[in-house]
Structure 1
């Protein structure tokens, strides 16, 4: 038995990271934020102070393109509608993650568009809506979405999830969309569609549908042989 002990230790070190060193060279989202967010915040605040919104948008795009894309999402912890813990790494498909709060005013066609796309592609993509609200409010908001979307929440008032709150909510603002592959690599980060008042429901729906579909077709679907103009869009 004594002679077998060294061999047992070697086998354990190969199969269990507790016994052996892991070579994880991935850059995580939280690390990328720490490296790039302070400079972005400083420059963006100056741009907004001068009301230079074009520059502010360019700064955001640059932060995403050169600082955050390609990093790997941390295994953040959320709550589901049953008040149970839900880990981000529990989702195995490519993910379309939208971070919201109940006070965010969505454009008229946004929710119908995401509902329709989730119905069509939920077998290939995990569509997740994350609310920064309490359970009662989130449960009410969840009624707006169909069964093909997973609705989660983090209640900031509980002050128990300061890490995920600071990284996903306070860093980039709301609403923000993350396009994440099956290995949790961030492929793109986008802000929601905005348009002037006065657009018809059909116009708003088409703008949102095209924007959301562009993201999932170019980043999350295995084949890129999709064209938003050829997509069948049935208005509810």
Structure 2
């Protein structure tokens, strides 16, 4: 019995230590990707640039584990991602992004429709004061967080989630805290489209594509909204 317990504990410890974390994978593979990507952009080979990103994502980042993120909430207190039981969508934005009401409305619709099944978190890069000014129209189903880059408390988060991919970007994380999708050009709205119904539909469909990208969510997610 002792031998069995020893083997089991050793196996569990090895399994936990063997986890590949997003930050570590990024540190290992980002530099060569950036070098090749910059060269592709210099040569105006935008197709190659996209291929390079897709390769980085598919071969090194997908299914890696997201370490706990401690994010200050605009409403007060902190959000810790390890405490979230459901899959979550982390949308990163900047305070100088022009706030589009139809985009916010579409995010609100998704957050309410899939409440208690998928958490929607919007992370703004900026001061609490500036974030508060532009986020008043999000509903209670969307968690608004912020990182003040003038403070030095969250350097690792800034480096990993902003400096590596810019903003806006979107990270879809499973309930096991594994990265399932990453959209580094998460443009929810375009000014050349109709700024009412079309903008709303585009945003809503874009988020749904991410959520329903995987079979497990297609089968398990239910909503009382059409």
TM-score, normalised relative to structure 2? 0.83
1:37 has 2:25 as partner: no
Contact 1:115–1:145 at 8 Å: present in 2 too?
yes
Contact 1:130–1:153 at 8 Å: present in 2 too?
yes
Residue 147 of structure 1 deviates from its aligned partner by 0.8
Note closer, same or farther for the CA distance 1:21–1:207 as it changes in structure 2 (3 Å cut): closer
Partner SS, residue 71 of structure 2: strand
1:162-201 deviation line (CA, Å, top 9, x unaligned): 1111111111111111111111011111131366543112
1:204 has 2:199 as partner: yes
The whole-number CA distance in structure 2 between the counterparts of 1:89 and 1:140 is: 28
1:187 has 2:180 as partner: yes
Contact 1:108–1:204 at 8 Å: present in 2 too?
no
Residue 57 of structure 1 deviates from its aligned partner by 2.3
Note closer, same or farther for the CA distance 1:220–1:143 as it changes in structure 2 (3 Å cut): farther
Moved more, 184-193 or 80-89: 80-89
Note closer, same or farther for the CA distance 1:54–1:194 as it changes in structure 2 (3 Å cut): farther
Note closer, same or farther for the CA distance 1:174–1:153 as it changes in structure 2 (3 Å cut): same
1:155 has 2:154 as partner: no
Contact 2:72–2:79 at 8 Å: present in 1 too?
yes
Partner of 2:19: 26
Unaligned runs of 5+ in 2: none
Moved more, 159-168 or 43-52: 43-52
Residue 28 of structure 1 deviates from its aligned partner by 0.5
TM-score, normalised relative to structure 1? 0.80
Residue 145 of structure 1 deviates from its aligned partner by 1.1
Unaligned runs of 5+ in 1: 1-9, 15-19
The whole-number CA distance in structure 2 between the counterparts of 1:133 and 1:105 is: 14
Note closer, same or farther for the CA distance 1:181–1:194 as it changes in structure 2 (3 Å cut): closer
The whole-number CA distance in structure 2 between the counterparts of 1:221 and 1:106 is: 33
Contact 1:129–1:150 at 8 Å: present in 2 too?
yes
Residue 105 of structure 1 deviates from its aligned partner by 3.9
